[in-house]
Structure 1
């Protein structure tokens, strides 16, 4: 995606299809690459299903360009960003699940061996200040 963005001379573009839909591979729409905002360097994958595209892919994506100029997620449709932002579990809920899993593993007698394994595998995370796996996940550049 990065090289596609660098090579493109247009401020907004769609490369459709990168890969055509294939139900056997669980790819239900044509895979495309889109750049929706001139001021953003972000390029996104957008899977487009045939029934959604009545005339052209460009016409279908056109409304997303105006939704992609919000400074909270420049280059990405703000409605999708908000849906993603509010659909995830909170850190406190994730910690609650973590505690429940630890209790179950402890009851089964396998918590300590797993902790020893974790210590040998998580040194790099500790160096980078990541103490919980969910703290190092995906993120957007937020202004």
Structure 2
């Protein structure tokens, strides 16, 4: 957080209004950079409600002008392990699933370890050789905020 390492247990994800500005005045923003393990991301994609559901939807209602649909079609609808080997498809899947994968990994309750941080955005996404690299912004936990900012 802000260029210093912190344990994963000190992080959580804002699920309600993720990516929106904080309504509480003067919430200090912090920057984060983290990596979710590649094996975790592949297992996440393989869950029935993730990539298989997306493939089913794309087959039934293809949107060839959408980058993710086009990448799925071009790669011939691969399974999770093969999907991450297709550079264009891997990039689009990482962008599409970044928030949900982050939310599943960290949870949206209070951090298990204080001082903690609540992540609020995913501004950059890269599927690297060892995992899903994410950058964004958040705030420190343990401060009083408006209901919408939980």
Bucket of the pairwise TM-score, normalised by the shorter protein: under 0.3
Q: Which is strand-richer, 1 or 2?
A: 2
**Which is higher, the Rg of structure 1 or of structure 2?**
1
Q: Which is helix-richer, 1 or 2?
A: 1
Q: What TM-score, normalized to structure 1?
A: 0.25
Q: What TM-score, normalized to structure 2?
A: 0.25
**Higher RCO, 1 vs 2 (CA within 8 Å, ≥6 residues apart):** 2
